[in-house]
Structure 1
Amino acid sequence: MKFNRLSVAMAATALLGAGEAFALAPGAAVDIEIWASGATAQDKGVEALFSELCVAGSLDIYRDNANASKPGAQHSAYFCTLDSTKVTGLSTVNPNVLFHKRSQGGSAQGVTPLILDQAITHMQINNGNCSKTAPDSFYRCTLANAGDTILHESDLGVSDVNPDLFRGANAPIEGGVKQPNVTTSQVSSLLDVTPAAGLVFGIPVTLSLYTALQDAQMDQGRIPAGCALGDDSNPDCMPSLSSEQVASLLAGKVQNWNRFKVQVGGASSDFFTSYSGGMGLTDNKVAICRRVDGSGTQAQANAVFLNNPCMASAVLPVASSNALSGPIVPSTNLALNGIGQSGSGDVDNCLADFNDGTNTGGGNSGNSKRWAIGIQSLEKNSGKDKNGNSIARKNYRFVKIDGAAPTLAEVAAGRYPDWVEQTFQWRKASVGGPTGDVLTILQKVAQDASKPSIVKDLNVEFNHPFGQSGFLALSTNGTNAQTFPFDAANNPTINLTHKQGASLDNCRAPVVNTTSGKNLLDL
């Protein structure tokens, strides 16, 4: 059973009496401690929100250093003096709040442990394990020593899709064991669920496959002649796959790339691998850089393209690798997590390795060159950093789906299909969930972490050569409403929703929000 954690120590708060604020180092007193787990996609929004809600100068950020090149990939924490004029209804004036966020394990860790009221591993920051040195603006924390982590129930869960989709093919595998299905009745009786933001996903393909698709579709007259191979700066020059073609690939129904027939002119069909980029391939087997069961990224792809687990007889995603005939489906840790890639960075490496004939990610031991597809959110591989500066891109590119580019504008207009609404959730108070100050803060996070003013700043990093992508604020959340024409730079809000009444279900076809004044769509 979970209870609010309020420290008896109030010394740090008392120091603020004269209006002076200091960043909160690991040993500072904690008045309210909150534990969150699940999908990484909302992490930046939560961090941005704490920057708004904290007393100026009081916020310190903590990231795990398990991978020094990717600090915070598994755990992070935000520690500050919360401004009670910005979070109204708190029992304490300007309390010191420590907000833990576990990202390890992805979306499923924001669902199943809450359903089971199960303690999971979280990062501590007060074990002498965190230090800050220049040029870092944050603390790096070790996880390897006794006391660096603690088993604790999560107050808040975050997932890329609504919690009841984590069943069947989406139920996670932990330590080689398939976890129990989440049921709709469990969710309705145990959890309060709040939609977070819309997030655009897509189908990335190796750069050599991208150029081959361009070459073949130019030959067919489907994209303009003269498009530069590899170019994705002009949406007209981007190749497209249909939803049915993507479904067939993700389900493992296409063993090799020459199963795709390229008809030009009369009845003859050219071998697909005879097009640009095909000559350097190790073989023509399809490679699929999918995610593990329990990944929200995999769950959304299963729902959008395979209608799984939305109906009992839905097609299953590919779950095995066939070295003889294909498809090839590598894994980052088959024994522990099942087939697939554990994180989005693993998908990055998987695609780049198959394109380049390398084995950075460990899934291409033969250093093969194969045409591969993957599943990623449009947060990835834009060529921009969080400040909008140009950075190097991996050797893969996103393709159009059903002729529409994966941009915010195409999603908002109802033309691009691959997007879902994320969720925040916590256990109901009646079954031991958060109450009091903890609940007040969680409700504020759920309401504001995905508001347009935060979302638009996060999207700077997701400005692809072909257009703006990333997150969408929801018109179902408070006073948000889409503007016409759609304004990605200032108001990335969408009037479409998978929510009907009080229920959000990403298995549903998105329809226009019927709230007065918001039932408008771009044609």
Structure 2
Amino acid sequence: MKKLILGAAVSAALLAGTAQAAITLDGAGKVVVTPADTYEIYLSGASAALDYIEHLATSTSVIAADRMCDSTQPIYKFKDNGGGKDQNAYYCTLNPLNPQLVGLAGGKANLLIYKRSVGGSAKGVAPLIDDAKGNNAAAHVEFLNVDPSVCTAPTGTGLLTSTCTYSPTTAGQFKSEIPDFGISDVDPEQFRGVNTSGTAVNPSDVGLLNVESAGGQVFGIGATLKLRNALQEAQFGVGNACVGAESEACMPSLTRDQVASIMTGKLDSWKDLKVGASDLYTLASAAYKPGNANARVHICTRTDGSGTKAQMGINFLNYPCATAATAPKADTGTLGEVIASAQVHAMSSAGNLSECLRELDAGVNTIGTGFNNTYTTGGARWAIGLQGLEKNANQAEDWRFIKIDGIAPTLENVAKGKYHDWAELTFQYSKTHVWDLSEDLIVKEFIKAASNPNVIVSLNQTNIHPFGDSGFLASPKNFTPTANGTFASSYPVNPYSHATTSQGVNNCRIPAAYDLPNATNAGIQLQ
């Protein structure tokens, strides 16, 4: 960004306050961005956190004093023409009820937050390090261009949505900018080894960034719907009322070691999952069987640099935390199913991963553009995938979360130390980043609101699954847990953290209770 240089008279006028400048539409009803009256903030990184970011930026359920946008004015969402899985932006009038957003030195009335998800969490880390090192060319990444020439007129009610033609290589369909801040599903130090997209993070480079905990996000293993039902048949019995049911009691389970075996490619066929003297494929009813007799294992994973993939490696494989750890199996490309090998499909975003699971379950290639399903002979395939629990709470997609070691992926189970597939997200920005006037204050307010349990509780309202509440938890590093370590969904604070009182978040550190000696009525629950 270019720093604004204002004359003394102009500065004084802005500081004194100016009239609100409404967001305008052109003659075709398309949104016109007025840079002179708009703070433009660029955020890149974790695709799993897209819904989290969108809710924080636009939802009226967030406490009024913490909202970024004025809910009495129109709020616009821009999304890429691939379904909005890779690039988004949110345009609104600044919220006058948020005291941190009143009287900003820039004097602008409106806020435009760009959110890049493509490339995952690594793009919320590496460009920020390049920015800190002064590597301007490497620090620039592509964002959505919200110009009326490539975007439709907004439609809908509430959040008004415009679709923009996007290509990272076609002039006019993208903007090249240095991110103001980034978000990652795990702390920056974990982007090494196969978690690298570009240059691996050197631990010494992390000191160039301001890294702030954003709280905990619950992750899980999703299974295509037919695979989920087959697992229910194997674990509850063919014809049991639990088959096809969605309750917590009827969720099937895999162990951590079974997931690790799948993710490292040790199983090439679902027949390798034995049930007594039989196996999962043989026991499955015809309606649920995969469409190839080999019952080849399919894995919908994320591309290198994804924080979702990184947290899975940490929580199931101890990778990259231990030098002896086995890395996840790499993308297999166009490998044929006749070859005895698990089929690994690496997706660039959480949205594309959901598409991978949906299309494999349906045995079609018509749902979207993020996954090219060539495995349609004979119909459906069984697959598992990695997702955050902010996905598919309404069960609109043909895949379901399963238990791990018999434990459901709920906020309460994380807070009780029983469910281990979660990670502490972080926001980061360069210590030497050049800001436009007051945009650093807006970013700091955004980060503060993102980690506030009173804000997170509203974010979690869309994460209520049939098996329980899930989504996000505030960090005990920033907020005090409830008394006696009991969990309250109305104030979701995790008593456990990957940080200590003297060291920052490191997701390779086994989470432990945070600062109990200095907290009143502190503790962790035994059961």
TM-score under structure 2 length normalisation: 0.82
Change (3 A) 1:116 1:14: closer
Question: Secondary structure of the residue that 1:310 maps to in structure 2?
Answer: coil
Which residue identity lines up with residue 122 of structure 1 in the other structure? F
1:211 is displaced (CA, Å) by 2.2
Name which of 243, 250, 256 aligns with 2:263: 250
1:186 is displaced (CA, Å) by 0.7
The answer to whether structure 1 residue 214 and structure 2 residue 218 are counterparts is no
When structure 1 is superposed on structure 2, of 353-362 and 57-66 the one drifting more is: 57-66
Q: Which residue of 2 aligns with 1:159?
A: 184
Structure 2 contact 296–343 (Cα < 8 Å) conserved: no
Question: Secondary structure of the residue that 1:504 maps to in structure 2?
Answer: coil
Question: Secondary structure of the residue that 1:474 maps to in structure 2?
Answer: coil
When structure 1 is superposed on structure 2, of 50-59 and 346-355 the one drifting more is: 50-59
1:469 is displaced (CA, Å) by 1.1
Instruction: Kindly provide the CA deviation profile for residues 92-127 of structure 1, in whole angstroms up to 9, marking residues without a partner as x.
Output: 556544333222222111111111221111234356
Distance in 1 of aligned mates of 2:485 and 2:68: 31
1:161 is displaced (CA, Å) by 0.9
Distance in 2 of aligned mates of 1:491 and 1:196: 15
1:61 is displaced (CA, Å) by 2.7
Q: Which residue of 2 aligns with 1:426?
A: 429
Q: Which residue of 2 aligns with 1:453?
A: 454
1:217 is displaced (CA, Å) by 2.1
The answer to whether structure 1 residue 182 and structure 2 residue 201 are counterparts is yes
Q: Which residue of 2 aligns with 1:36?
A: 43
Change (3 A) 1:90 1:28: closer
Distance in 1 of aligned mates of 2:386 and 2:53: 20
Question: Secondary structure of the residue that 1:359 maps to in structure 2?
Answer: coil
The answer to whether structure 1 residue 143 and structure 2 residue 143 are counterparts is no
Structure 1 contact 482–492 (Cα < 8 Å) conserved: no
Change (3 A) 1:272 1:292: same
Structure 1 contact 256–325 (Cα < 8 Å) conserved: no
Distance in 2 of aligned mates of 1:207 and 1:4: 51
Structure 2 contact 18–107 (Cα < 8 Å) conserved: no
1:502 is displaced (CA, Å) by 3.4
Which runs of no fewer than 5 residues in structure 1 stay unpaired? Answer: 173-178, 264-268, 332-339, 384-391
Name which of 378, 383, 387 aligns with 1:376: 387
Name which of 199, 218, 228 aligns with 2:242: 228
1:11 is displaced (CA, Å) by 12
Number of matched residues? 483
Q: Which residue of 2 aligns with 1:288?
A: 299
1:355 is displaced (CA, Å) by 2.5
Change (3 A) 1:277 1:191: farther
The answer to whether structure 1 residue 487 and structure 2 residue 514 are counterparts is no
Distance in 2 of aligned mates of 1:370 and 1:143: 31
TM-score under structure 1 length normalisation: 0.83
1:63 is displaced (CA, Å) by 0.9
Change (3 A) 1:327 1:371: farther
Instruction: Kindly provide the CA deviation profile for residues 142-183 of structure 1, in whole angstroms up to 9, marking residues without a partner as x.
Output: 4367444321111101111111111111112xxxxxx11112
When structure 1 is superposed on structure 2, of 38-47 and 197-206 the one drifting more is: 38-47
1:362 is displaced (CA, Å) by 1.5
Name which of 133, 143, 146 aligns with 1:125: 146
Distance in 2 of aligned mates of 1:277 and 1:4: 64
Change (3 A) 1:369 1:408: same
1:413 is displaced (CA, Å) by 0.6
Distance in 1 of aligned mates of 2:42 and 2:126: 15
1:276 is displaced (CA, Å) by 2.4
Structure 1 contact 261–272 (Cα < 8 Å) conserved: yes
Distance in 2 of aligned mates of 1:161 and 1:36: 16
Q: Which residue of 2 aligns with 1:388?
A: none
Name which of 93, 109, 120 aligns with 1:106: 120
Structure 2 contact 43–179 (Cα < 8 Å) conserved: yes
Structure 1 contact 206–351 (Cα < 8 Å) conserved: yes
Distance in 1 of aligned mates of 2:478 and 2:55: 15
Distance in 2 of aligned mates of 1:237 and 1:286: 23
When structure 1 is superposed on structure 2, of 280-289 and 94-103 the one drifting more is: 94-103
Which residue identity lines up with residue 150 of structure 1 in the other structure? K
Which residue identity lines up with residue 143 of structure 1 in the other structure? Y
Question: Secondary structure of the residue that 1:375 maps to in structure 2?
Answer: strand
Instruction: Kindly provide the CA deviation profile for residues 212-247 of structure 1, in whole angstroms up to 9, marking residues without a partner as x.
Output: 222222359xxxx944202121x2222111111111
Change (3 A) 1:327 1:374: farther
Q: Which residue of 2 aligns with 1:337?
A: none
Structure 1 contact 353–364 (Cα < 8 Å) conserved: no
Change (3 A) 1:277 1:364: farther
Q: Which residue of 1 aligns with 2:320?
A: 309
Distance in 1 of aligned mates of 2:513 and 2:103: 34
When structure 1 is superposed on structure 2, of 354-363 and 453-462 the one drifting more is: 354-363
Distance in 2 of aligned mates of 1:341 and 1:149: 21
CA-atom RMSD, angstroms?
Answer: 3.2
Name which of 385, 409, 412 aligns with 1:409: 412
Q: Which residue of 1 aligns with 2:136?
A: none
The answer to whether structure 1 residue 193 and structure 2 residue 211 are counterparts is yes
Question: Secondary structure of the residue that 1:503 maps to in structure 2?
Answer: coil
% of aligned pairs identical?
A: 34
Which runs of no fewer than 5 residues in structure 2 stay unpaired? Answer: 25-31, 132-138
Structure 1 contact 47–78 (Cα < 8 Å) conserved: no
The answer to whether structure 1 residue 272 and structure 2 residue 280 are counterparts is yes
Structure 1 contact 63–76 (Cα < 8 Å) conserved: yes
Structure 1 contact 483–493 (Cα < 8 Å) conserved: no
Distance in 1 of aligned mates of 2:488 and 2:41: 35
Distance in 1 of aligned mates of 2:376 and 2:231: 25
Q: Which residue of 2 aligns with 1:357?
A: 363
The aligned runs of 1:510-521 (5 Å cut-off) are 510-514=511-515, 516-517=518-519, 519-521=522-524
Structure 1 contact 287–326 (Cα < 8 Å) conserved: no
